[in-house]
């Protein structure tokens, strides 16, 4: 893959890999079992500039581009997809502030997000059939001094640990999701309540909880009339980063299964010598290679300011299939050992389900891809 990357990008990937090996890999199993939030690790990542990839130098960011970001996320995910997921959600919130924030909003929030002093969170999902529908939909009401939010968001990543929430809410209850607008909410705002932390199957250590808004003061982010387009773009950006996570997890599973296939002996020879095992490993490696190229291409489109929503949808669709199918095969290659919670493969299987079962509007990705063909 190095022929696609600049020397700087290769160095960034190597630095992320080294950090993951030294600081994430030794703690990954404990994090999975304890489900504790890795606060010290997140702080250390900020000190190593792992929260600053595509953010502007003017606010303390590295400004090395979105491709460098997904390179880093892929490497972090090989060691700890949970920590990588915390960062992905944090960086998605930072992307929104940088992309649509006013000069004052950027100055107020970006330095703290880059330094790790504030953790970001994206609040979109609701319990209704879609955003803006149902009795608990989050509604933004205009007042003389700004907006207040009322309602409930479900399964908010980084909830309870985040200092800043990017919240998508409806400004017109009758229009529902068509009236979406984006808002910034301080975690200390009066009326904001964090529900009980949910125990998830995978990506343990990443906090997930419902967030309730009871007349919570909120600051409009970007034009109110552009909320739907903003939400769509942000989900596309998020999809590419989550696909990078899936590629990283799959690559780790492939490496583990490949080594196992060479060590496990049956009928007098390693099982890796059997055609059935070779076929599974080859298909996983090929699909992982293709997915990696697709992720890098989509990330490059973001950097170049080109349209990328269709490519993000394709990456999302392909990575969903890649992750679950590949992990099923790697578990099968390792047999009973792969199914055992004492082995790494079970954790990787649970983690990849968390990166592929992601929040997205109903028409994403299949309908978006189909629409781009016409």
Judge if the upstream peptide bond of residue 285 is cis by omega within 30 degrees of 0.
Answer: no
Q: Do the Cβ atoms of 313 and 301 come closer than 8 Å?
A: no
In terms of Cα–Cα distance, which of 134, 133, 224 is closest to 179?
A: 224
SS3 of residue 53 by DSSP: coil
H helices present in 193-308, as ranges: 227-263, 275-304
Please confirm, yes or no, whether 359 is among the known catalytic residues: yes
Q: Do the Cβ atoms of 38 and 116 come closer than 8 Å?
A: no
Neighbours of 199 (CB within 10 A): 8
Distances from the Cα of 260 to the Cα of 225, 233, 336, 347, angstroms: 54, 41, 12, 16
User: What is the dihedral sign for C-alpha 311, 86, 194, 103?
Assistant: negative
Q: Which residues contact 289 (CB under 8 A, 6 or more apart)?
A: none
Question: What CA–CA distance (Å, rounded) separates 79 from 357?
Answer: 20
Q: What is the DSSP string of 68-106?
A: HHHHHHHHHHHH-HHHHHHHHHHHHHHHHHHHH--HHHH
Which of the residues 74, 233, 242, 359 is marked catalytic? 359
Q: Do the Cβ atoms of 210 and 126 come closer than 8 Å?
A: no
Question: What CA–CA distance (Å, rounded) separates 101 from 51?
Answer: 18
Q: Do the Cβ atoms of 122 and 184 come closer than 8 Å?
A: no
3-state helix, strand, coil in the chain (%, to 5): 60, 15, 25
Residues catalogued as catalytic: 359
């Amino acid at each position: 893959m190095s022929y696609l990357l600049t020397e700087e990008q290769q160095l960034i990937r190597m630095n992320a890999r080294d950090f993951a090996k030294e600081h994430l890999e030794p703690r990954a199993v404990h994090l999975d079992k304890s489900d504790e939030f890795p606060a010290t690790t997140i702080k250390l990542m900020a000190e190593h500039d792992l929260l600053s990839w595509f953010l502007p130098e003017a606010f303390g960011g590295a400004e090395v581009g979105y491709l460098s970001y997904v390179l880093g996320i892929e490497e972090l995910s090989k060691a700890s997809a949970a920590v990588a997921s915390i960062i992905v959600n944090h960086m998605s919130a930072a992307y929104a502030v940088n992309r649509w924030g006013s000069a004052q909003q950027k100055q107020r929030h970006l330095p703290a997000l880059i330094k790790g002093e504030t953790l970001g969170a994206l609040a979109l999902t609701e319990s209704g059939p879609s955003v803006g529908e149902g009795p608990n939909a989050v509604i933004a009401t205009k007042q003389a001094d700004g907006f207040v939010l009322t309602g409930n968001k479900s399964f908010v990543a980084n909830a309870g640990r985040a200092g800043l929430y990017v919240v998508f809410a409806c400004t017109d209850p009758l229009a529902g999701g068509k009236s979406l607008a984006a808002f910034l909410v301080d975690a200390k705002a009066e009326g904001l309540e964090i529900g009980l932390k949910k125990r998830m199957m995978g990506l343990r250590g990443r906090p997930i909880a419902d967030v309730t808004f009871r007349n919570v003061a909120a600051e409009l982010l970007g034009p109110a009339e552009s909320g739907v387009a903003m939400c769509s773009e942000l989900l596309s950006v998020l999809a590419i980063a989550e696909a990078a996570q899936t590629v990283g997890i799959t690559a780790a599973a492939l490496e583990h299964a490949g080594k196992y296939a060479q060590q496990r002996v049956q009928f007098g020879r390693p099982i890796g010598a059997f055609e059935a095992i070779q076929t599974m490993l080859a298909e996983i490696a090929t699909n992982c290679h293709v997915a990696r190229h697709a992720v890098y291409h989509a990330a490059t489109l973001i950097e170049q300011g080109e349209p990328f929503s269709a490519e993000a949808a394709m990456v999302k669709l392909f990575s969903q299939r890649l992750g679950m199918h590949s992990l099923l095969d790697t578990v099968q290659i390792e047999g009973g050992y792969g199914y055992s919670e004492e082995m790494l493969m079970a954790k990787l299987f649970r983690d990849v389900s968390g990166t592929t079962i992601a929040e997205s509007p109903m028409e994403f990705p299949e309908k978006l891809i189909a629409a781009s063909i016409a």
